[in-house]
Structure 1
Amino acid sequence: MTRRFDGHIVGLGTTSGTRVVVGIWERSPHGPFADAMVERPDGHRILLAPDAWVADLVATTYRFDEVQVVAVALDGWSIQAGPLQARWTPGARAPIGWLLRCVPRPVAHHETWARLCDPVARRVMPGVRTHGTAGQGRTEWYAATDAWQVTSATVSWDGQDLGPLAPVDPPVRFGFASAPRTPTLSRVTSFIRDRP
């Protein structure tokens, strides 16, 4: 069985060293939802999930030191997820976005294309991968079809501001891939195929 998730992913760095990756999924086998993955400066990785289904799926797909099921609310390009509050402003289409838009959707969504793009993505955007393992013998691939630079963001944890927007550096360590180093909002379809 292959599960498909259509939506957006934004990767944000802060000058405090905390990095945040937010998934906003408009279409999924579970309906619309959003979640957030946070890596603190000391490497502690936290998943903030809206319910047990999302917590179980994401925690068995990626690696975390802590999982919290919390209320998650979206308001435009902002999220409130338990102790996390983040708001970001997308700017101009990123150069890679113009290239991604040239690939026909059926091609972009195919696993073979993701395999072919993986070594290129790793070289052009260190840390970024398009094909890899999703844990428990599963396979995951990403089909990005557009991307925008993030021009500003405010991120806080338990009401404490985490500092201005900064690169996602070092790369986050939740799974086989990181978000781009430059804060980016990407239009993405993610596929997770269970073990045959």
Structure 2
Amino acid sequence: MGTSSGTRIVLGHWQASPFGAFSDVMLERADGDRLLLAPTRDTVDFISATYVFDTVCVVPVEVSVTNDAWTVTAGPLDLRFTTGRRGLLGLALRTVPGPLARRPAWSALTDRPARLLLPGVRTRGSAGRGRREWYGARDLLPIRAVSAAYGGAHLGPMAPVEPPVRFGFGSAPRNPSVTRVTTTVELGPE
């Protein structure tokens, strides 16, 4: 999601991962400063080895979801947002079976259509330290309203995700949204 202050926020809310369930926040400010907020040293180390940040912080990250309302606290970040009704693309993505979404070949097949439908979005690419990554999208919901503050300073109302975030090879959709993805990361030579 974007805010009128120029801050763009990407929330990762992982139900399952090699680290168990956890949430993290990648935030890019208007001046280009990229920040990672994650709950453990292991998650910070893995994420920062896959994406590029100027600052990383180990902080508690709490996410609560009630119906269409999300509440997130991550160190100095307080974030609330609501989602709207699923559109046609979201309905189509919900038909993608989980085992198919986990296959890198599926992400490779859907990369071109994703780029055409959502400019700036990619479903595969090179990540940090020689890693490769694939995203298998399985749902898409529009975000209807955002309230965000960092260190007590309000970040302004919701805005498009512009310019695109620069954490890794791909970006979030221009229109603020919640996307359910299956992410596969192939580790490079460590």
TM bucket normalised to smaller: over 0.9
CA distance in 2, matches of 1:74, 1:108: 24
Identity of aligned residues (%): 50
CA distance in 1, matches of 2:34, 2:15: 25
Indicate the structure whose relative CO is greater, using CA pairs within 8 Å and at least 6 residues apart. Answer: 1
Counterpart residue number, 1:152: 145
- Correspondent of 1:138 among 116, 131, 138: 131
Counterpart residue number, 2:83: 90
CA RMSD in angstroms comes to 1.3
Maintained 8 Å contact 2:52/2:128: no
Q: How far did 1:13 drift?
A: 0.5
Counterpart residue number, 1:66: 55
Structure 2 gaps, min length 5: none
- Correspondent of 2:104 among 102, 106, 111: 111
Whichever residue aligns with residue 171 of structure 1, its letter is P
- Correspondent of 1:187 among 162, 176, 180: 180
Quick one: structure 1 residues 193 and 166, their matched pair in 2 at CA, closer, same or farther if it must change by over 3 Å? same
Structure with the larger strand share:
1
Which shows bigger deviation, 100-109 or 151-160?
Answer: 100-109
Counterpart residue number, 2:22: 33
Q: How far did 1:72 drift?
A: 1.4
Q: How far did 1:176 drift?
A: 0.5
Aligned length, in residue pairs: 185
What is the TM-score with the length of structure 1 in the denominator? Answer: 0.90
Whichever residue aligns with residue 194 of structure 1, its letter is L
What is the TM-score with the length of structure 2 in the denominator? Answer: 0.93
CA distance in 2, matches of 1:96, 1:49: 30
Q: How far did 1:106 drift?
A: 2.6
Maintained 8 Å contact 2:78/2:150: yes
Whichever residue aligns with residue 22 of structure 2, its letter is F
Structure 1 gaps, min length 5: 1-11
Counterpart residue number, 2:10: 21
CA distance in 2, matches of 1:100, 1:129: 15
CA distance in 1, matches of 2:133, 2:83: 26
